[in-house]
Every structure is written in C-alpha cells, then in structure tokens.
C-alpha cells in the first residue's frame, strides 16, 4: 500500500485524521510565525443515523463522498480536507479570514443541500452543519479543532443545516 493510501480515506479522498492534524499543526505554526489568518471549518453531515436507518449505509456513503466533492469544490484548493470523525470533515484554510471562512462554509452548506441522492427507499437530500473558528494568537491547533467542533455542535443544536462561527 502506498504512503498516500495510508494518509487518505479511500472512501472519500479526504485525509485521514492523523495526517490532517499534522498538516493543521504545521499550518498553525506557519500562521503564528507570519501572523497570517488561518480558519478551520468543521462540517458534519446531519442526521446520519436516521439516514442509515431509512436509506441504508451504501446510500449514506455516497452522500459522504458527495459532501467531500462539494466541500472541495467550494474551497477551490484553499486548503486540505480531513476526515476527522465518521461523518465529519474539516478544512484548514491558511490566509483565510473568519468572514471569508463563513462565506465558504455557507457555500458548502448550500451546495450540499442542492444535491439529491437515490436509495431503494426513495430519493433524499441531506444537510450539513458547519462550525467556523479562526485561529487566535498563540492558540494551539488542538484548541482550534475543539473550537470549530463546538461551533458545529451549536449549529446542530440551533436546528441543523446552519453555519455557526465562534
């Protein structure tokens, strides 16, 4: 197996969490050193268990792959995407301000909401909740990850299919 295969989720093409965290830690160090902004987006597919129960795991796997496609398209090469949990992805956006991060998060949310998926139970659409966190001075990458995830949880608690920034 190639080194790249060990770093990338074969199902979605996103980096696996250990490699993504390595890239994020390097980006945070660079951002602190250059005083450039760095924003982290945490994108979580809403109601995954309900989707699995209704439409099946295969259909939800297709939805996860489509989420990464839409995420990558919305970001247009601005930063790496990592699979940070089973149905959650994050992107480290070097040189991107919090305001731009929110606009990109909204773009991801809208693009994914426009997708339709098929299953034996019928067609369905999905939604995502997105947390946005901009790096603060001297903040370690782990705290940034936690802040973006917490903002995503707030988006879910506010009704899902939303973007929340810390």
Domain holding 30: CATH number? 3.30.70.270
- The reply to whether 2 falls in a domain is no
53 found inside a domain: yes
SS3 category, 121: coil
pLDDT, one tens digit for every residue, the chain (166 residues): 455 556 887 677 899 999 999 999 999 999 999 999 999 999 999 988 888 888 888 888 889 999 999 999 999 999 999 999 989 999 999 999 999 999 999 999 999 999 999 888 989 899 999 999 999 999 999 999 999 999 999 999 999 999 999 9
**Domain membership flag for residue 1:** no
Whether 113 maps to a domain, the answer reads yes
The total of structural domains in the chain comes to 1
pLDDT tens digit sequence for 82-98? 999 989 999 999 999 99
- 3 state SS of 132: strand
Residue 115 falls within a domain, yes or no?
Answer: yes
The pTM score is 0.91
Q: From CA 62, how far away is CA 55, in angstroms rounded?
A: 11
DSSP string, 66-94: HHHHHHHHHHTTSS-EEEEETTEEEEEEE
Enclosing domain of residue 70? 7-165
Tokens of 103: 């606009």
pLDDT at residue 12 in the model: 77
């Amino acid at each position: 197996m190639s080194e790249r295969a060990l770093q990338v989720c074969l199902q979605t093409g996103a980096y696996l969490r250990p490699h993504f965290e390595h890239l994020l830690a390097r980006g945070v160090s660079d951002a602190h050193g250059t005083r450039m902004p760095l924003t982290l987006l945490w994108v979580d597919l809403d109601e995954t268990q309900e989707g699995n129960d209704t439409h099946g795991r295969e259909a939800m796997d297709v939805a996860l792959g489509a989420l990464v496609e839409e995420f990558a398209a919305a970001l247009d090469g601005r930063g790496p995407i990592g699979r940070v949990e089973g149905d959650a992805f994050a992107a480290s956006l070097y040189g991107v301000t919090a305001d731009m991060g929110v606009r990109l998060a909204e773009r991801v949310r809208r693009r994914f909401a426009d997708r339709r998926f098929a299953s034996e139970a019928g067609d369905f659409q999905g939604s995502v909740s997105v947390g946005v966190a901009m790096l603060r001075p001297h903040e370690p990458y782990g705290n940034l990850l936690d802040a973006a995830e917490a903002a995503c949880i707030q988006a879910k608690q506010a009704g899902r299919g939303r973007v929340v920034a810390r």
